[in-house]
Every structure is written in structure tokens, then in C-alpha cells.
Homo-oligomer: A and B are copies of this chain.
Amino acid sequence: MSETPDNAVRTYIQQHRAAFLDDLAEWLRIPSVSAQPEHDGDVRRSAEWLAAKLSETGFPVAEIWPTPGAPAVFAEWPSGDPDAPTVLVYGHHDVQPAAREDGWHTDPFEPRITDGRMYGRGAADDKGQVFFHTLGVRAHLAATGRTAPAVNLKLLIEGEEESGSPHFRALVEQQAHRLAADAVIVSDTGMWSETTPTVCTGMRGLADCEITLYGPDQDIHSGSFGGAVPNPATVAARLVAALHDEDEQVTIPGFYEGVAPLTDEERELYAELPFDEETWLRTAKSHGTLGEAGYSTLERLWARPTAELNGIGGGYQGPGGKTIIPSSAQLKLSFRLVAGQEPDKIERAVTDWVAARIPAGIRHEIVFGAATRPCLTPLDHPALQSVVRAMGRAFDGHKIRFTREGGSGPAADLQDVLAAPVLFLGISVPSDGWHAPNEKVELELLLKGVETTAHLWDDMARTLR
């Protein structure tokens, strides 16, 4: 029935498993920490290593793309079929900082395999998940007897994701013609758990701003002047308090305009996930839930926009008291956005809302950072269905469920610039310890990633044709 017999794929993977893991371990040994300047050379070395490995894998094109920061790697393997759709895989080869003294049981850059897991910085985030594409495409060719993939396969593996992807958008814009694709596969997320395979269907967007409020020209005495002049820190606090109503809904007019409502299907599917609030609170290191009335925790995290206070400061913050009216105060707000919300419109709405709430005698400034748009692929999107089918085969017919990501990422830049749907294919699980000591990847799941991509290109070639 399928063009890539499952047994052939599995056999091929088993035969090449050892070399695959050896190669991944070699890559993990390169401490490509983009946030630490002393590792700039390692990040470059990581890019070179990957480009060479992709050439070796068979990609006819494998290039280092410099940026003003760390280099990205681009590779391309044309299908040869003029009707074949084009798929772009996104990942990153830089990693979070790691040091033995942070609590690692062994050297974070000397990978080791124990109990079916490979430990090492980048094992899951994101080198392991980039790397399963190399064996995946080979297994696809081996099982189908093809000499080139069923889709025009492109890879863009950036080197600055752990530093906030400062040059990614510009790179994608500059190289838009070479990156053009019918679909984008992002392999930089995860699944619900080891026993609940899932596909992520979207990420929230992000707009953020800093608001500075100016009152008296200097801190003034709260005895001599208190009760008669506006206090900029109080105004800051009042802005924050006014952001939400008693249902924890954001009060800014127009904020929810266009928000894609959760479908009944999505709500049912999310409700079916084995969500345990106590476990989740431990992950969140929090001691209670609080959110928009009428939505579950998962719905709040995945499908609802937020207004969050990331920082506030004004007046005296040292030990003891100081009887002043502060001369200024500052707020940092961020807004997670969901499908249907446009950062530009949100920024205008926030700007107007803030301006309307500043009393006489207080001056304010508002500055927005670079925004990230939300992305969401509908459950019935053909490319998404293709990912679900391929994953289902890798997971022995296990039902594939759906999640979303509450965070925001460069995936949205690809979606926007390339005007292509973004799909998420990740096999990492919450216990993998992203950004934490003793990061690991489950080898069985890593190979399920290989297997999924081995099935995926054929399926997508048919689906997107």
C-alpha cells in the first residue's frame, strides 16, 4: 500500500544506527554556544561540520551562509521531478551554554549513551532533531530505490536561535528566492510525552514594549508633596492593573479582534491529552493557576493571547524605606499573540490605550521591540495530515494527537516571508531538559524521528502535488 515499506525503512535505520549516533556525538562535541563570544569559532566549526555532513549525506548543495552574527547552513537536494513540491526544513545548530558545575553529571560536550538515552548539550535542542533528517532522507531513498528525494528538499539550519535569532529575519528575506517552499517543517519542538506522540500545530506570536513614565524632575519628598502630585510608579502600576478585567481578559480595545477561536475539535482533542495539573505546576515551578475565564490551562497557553508584565521598576528598591515620590518608573510588557492577531495592530492598540491612561503631569514614552507573528496550521491542512500519517507509521499506528506551543519562534518569519504553511515535526519530550543540565534525547524517539521523515517525503510529494 505504501511506497516506502515500513520494514525496509526500519532495516535501513537499524543498519545505520551506530554510525548515525557516532556522527551525532561528534557534532555534540562542538560547543556551539552562540551566546558566548569565546565560542564563536565553535559555532563556525559546527556549521562547517554540518555542511560537510550534509554533502556526505548526498545534498548536492550544502553552503555556509554568513550573517553579521553566527553562520547558518543551507542545503538543497532537488527531486528531479519538475512537479515535485518543495519542502524547507528548519532547525538550528547552536546550543545553550552548559558547564559541568551547573549540575551536569558528566561533561556536557562529551556525549554519552546510557539507558537508551544520549546525554549532551544539544542532544534534543536542536542538533539531535536536525540530525534525524540526514538518516531520514537516506532511509527514504533506500526504501524507495530513488536517487533523489520525492520532494525538493531544502534545509536551513541557523546558528543564532539560542541568542534570539537577531539576523534570521534579514537572512530569510535576502535569500527568499532560494528558500522558496510549498511547506516548512520546523524540527525544533517536541511531543507531549514518551507515550503520547503529538504534532504541534502552531506557536504564539509576540509583541513587546517598554513604557517609561516620567513624573517629578527628580525624586521628591513624599511628606512635603505626597497626596498632591501624580506618582509615575503608581501610574505604571495602574496601567498594569487595568490591562485585565476580573475574568483575566485583556481590556485593550481591539485586542481580541480577529483572534481565531478554538474549534470544538481542538478543544476536545486538547481535553483528551493526559494533562495533570499538579505535574504541570511543578514544571511551571508555580503554586497555582490563574488565567482567562472559560479556558483550560492548555487552551490558555496555546490558543489565547496574553498581556504579561515581564518587569517593573520605579523608585526606591534598596533595603528599608525611603519616603519619596519617584521621578520615573518603567514597565516591560509582552503580548503573546495567536492566529488572527497582527502585531502592528496590537502595537497601535497598546499605544493608544496607554496614551489615554496617562494623567496630566506625567509624560510617557513607549518603545516596541521586534515583533514575531503567530503561526497556526489548521488541523485539516493537507501538509499537516501528511506529517500525522508519517508519524503514525513511525509510531506503529499510535494515534497522533495535537498540541501547540505557547512560545514564539523564528518559524513565523519563514511563514511570513515565504508565504508557506509551517508544520512542526519534533520528537523531544519534556524530560529532555532543554536549556537545563543533563539535556538528553531518547534514542528510540530520535529514531522515530528518522523513521517519520523516511516516510514523510513520499507522502508530502503526493499530498502537495
Interface residues of A (CB under 8 A from B): 204, 206, 208, 210, 215-218, 220-231, 233-234, 236-244, 281, 284-292, 297, 300-301, 304-306, 308-317, 320-327, 329-330, 332, 334, 336, 359-363, 369, 405-408
Contact = CB atoms under 8 A, between A and B. Distances in A.
B240 A308 contact: no
Given A286-B361, A359-B288, A332 B315 contact: yes
Instruction: Give the oligomeric copy count.
Output: 2
Contacts of A218: 285
Contacts of A237: 236-241, 309, 312
Contact of A228 (B208, B301, B316, B332): B301
A430 to B, nearest CB: 10
A63 to B, nearest CB: 31
B220 A309 contact: no
A222 B322 contact: no
A311 B314 contact: yes
A321 B239 CA distance: 18
A459 to B, nearest CB: 30
A323 B301 contact: no
Contacts of A217: 285-286
A313 B325 CA distance: 14
B288 A407 contact: no
Given A225-B301, A240-B238, A312 B406 contact: no
Contact of A332 (B230, B289, B321): B321
A312 B236 contact: yes
Nearest to A286: B229
A315 B311 contact: yes
A361 B289 CA distance: 7
Nearest to A336: B226
A300 B369 CA distance: 40
A215 B287 CA distance: 7
Nearest to A234: B309
Contacts of A304: 227
Chain B CB within 10 Å, residue with most, of A220, A229, A239, A243: A229
Contacts of A229: 281, 284, 286, 288-291
Given A220-B284, A234-B241, A311-B316, 13 more contacts: A206-B223, A215-B287, A223-B408, A224-B284, A226-B308, A228-B297, A229-B286, A229-B291, A237-B312, A238-B241, A290-B359, A311-B324, A320-B369
Contacts of A327: 285
Contacts of A292: 227
Given A325-B308, A369-B321, A408-B223, A286 B334 contact: no
Nearest to A333: B321
Q: Which 5 A-B pairs have the closest CB atoms?
A: A288-B361, A223-B407, A241-B241, A311-B315, A237-B240
A297 B225 CA distance: 9
A151 B363 CA distance: 55
B330 A317 contact: yes
A315 B240 CA distance: 14
Nearest to A318: B311
B288 A312 contact: no
A351 B361 CA distance: 31
A310 B301 contact: no
Nearest to A331: B237
13 contacts: A220-B284, A227-B291, A227-B301, A228-B297, A230-B289, A233-B312, A236-B312, A237-B241, A241-B242, A308-B323, A311-B315, A312-B329, A313-B313
